[in-house]
Structure 1
Amino acid sequence: MDMGNVMKWITASALCLSLAAGLSGIASAQEAQTLISGNVTHGGFGGPEIKFGTVAGSPGVWVGGRGGWIINATPNHAISIGGGGYGLVSDHLAGIQPAGSENLYALSGYGGFILEYTNRSYRLAHITVSSLIGAGAVLLRDKEYETVNEDENDPFFVFEPSLSIELNVTHFFRIAAGAGYRFTNGISDFGYSDSDFSAFTGTLTFKFGKF
């Protein structure tokens, strides 16, 4: 190989390496942009939750669970992002029944994204404000034959804000009791409407985690 070509190749390679190193230095000097910056702290929790309300005017009980990721908590303020899901465990005769029978019962569940704000969690008792936004469905259960036709369901949108008083039991365990309102939209089958599932709710929550 001609020595002149070799020198040209070496020179070009050196220039490319220098340019790459320079660009890398510039990129490393610029910190990546993020939604949450600074010294980010993390926590989290999970646990069972019981909800009390009404279904078509009769008392109803929903059982489920929720969890959340706590971001940058301070003694005065904390925000958590998470989700939850709940199922109706109380018996409710469906709004429509076959002639001469009362075997059909309502079966329902819902869940979604939960955003929660906690105020002054260092206090023994403190306040939390949360909102759930998600979806659910109403189905029918034949109590006599213990069957559920999952192909026939009535989906709905749900929005549920609530206010709770939370108690610090230990450093890793909290209990919260609260009240809210469940708004539903889209229910129109099986003899039900939105007004049958939209109702004031009471909640009892058990949280285990790092707060």
Structure 2
Amino acid sequence: MKKVIGIILTIVCVGVSAFAQENQRFSNPSNPIKHNMIGSFGGPILISSPLNNNFNLGIGGGGGIVINDFYIGVFGIGQTFQNSLMEVTQETKQVNLGYGGLWLGYSFYNDYKLHPFVSLRSGLGSLALHNNQDLSLMRQNMVVLTPEMGLEFNVTDKFRIASTVGYRWLSSFDERKLPKENYSGITLNLALRVVIN
């Protein structure tokens, strides 16, 4: 947990420091980036999150429509935890998590190159446990909610990089199908976005 807190504090400090330095506005005539009322975006998402204090990476993608400072779209994410120790049974399993759904967001100070934003990813998915022979042992469908906040940097008028910290909440499971574990937790995300105006 100390490592997670350290990573979060580092991201926040770097973001605040960068935001405090000569942040250029879109409205600057010398800046080629223009603020448009309507557009679209899409790109890959890299996610890191823990399962029983075991961090692992996942990958996905998403895209949507931007209307002023709001955006709405869809997303999908897949993540695998290799050799995860189940606290209840003390057995090592492979945990596969996949989900997707609706993506809502709002950007603050969108006329700056570097600006904060908040978003909510909500959807449906499934979580499965596998043994060493990759045979599915247990599977359970669930609801997933991930509120997050972060910083977005406009590299050009067509390419953006976003970094966020969030919390992924998974709905309750039928304990007859899956052992009761702490499947919810903090997420660290890095997204690359191609913008079409």
Instruction: Give the TM-score taking structure 2 as reference length.
Output: 0.72
The alignment's C-alpha RMSD in Å is 2.6
Matches within 5 A, 1:6-155: 41-71=37-67, 73=68, 78-93=69-84, 95=86, 104-143=93-132, 145-148=133-136, 152-155=138-141
Residue 209 of structure 1 pairs with residue 195 of structure 2:
yes
Residue 41 of structure 2 aligns to a residue in which SS?
strand
* Structure (1 or 2) with the greater strand fraction: 2
1:63–1:89 CA contact under 8 A, matched in 2? no
Residue 165 of structure 2 aligns to a residue in which SS?
strand
The correspondence for 2:151, drawn from 165, 182, 203, is 165
Task: Label 1:41 to 1:167 Cα distance change in 2 as closer, same or farther (>3 A).
Answer: closer
Q: Percent identity?
A: 27
Distance 2:131 2:145 in 1: 29
Partner of 2:28: none
Q: Which amino acid aligns with 1:176?
A: A
Distance 2:83 2:168 in 1: 18
* Structure (1 or 2) with the greater helix fraction: 1
Moved over 2 A (4+): 92-96, 140-143, 145-149, 186-193
Instruction: Give the TM-score taking structure 1 as reference length.
Output: 0.67
2:80–2:95 CA contact under 8 A, matched in 1? no
Q: Give the drift of 1:120.
A: 2.0
Q: Give the drift of 1:41.
A: 4.8
Over residues 49-93 of structure 1, what are the superposed CA-to-partner deviations in whole Å (9 max), with x where a residue is unaligned? Answer: 11111012211222111111112x2xxxx1111111111134143
Residue 93 of structure 1 aligns to a residue in which SS?
strand
Shifted more, 84-93 versus 168-177: the winner is: 84-93
Q: Which amino acid aligns with 2:73?
A: G
2:52–2:85 CA contact under 8 A, matched in 1? no
Q: Give the drift of 1:158.
A: 1.1
Gaps of 5+ in 1: 1-39
Over residues 79-124 of structure 1, what are the superposed CA-to-partner deviations in whole Å (9 max), with x where a residue is unaligned? Answer: 111111111134143639x9xx85x411111111110101222211
Gaps of 5+ in 2: 1-35
1:95–1:190 CA contact under 8 A, matched in 2? no
Q: Give the drift of 1:148.
A: 4.1
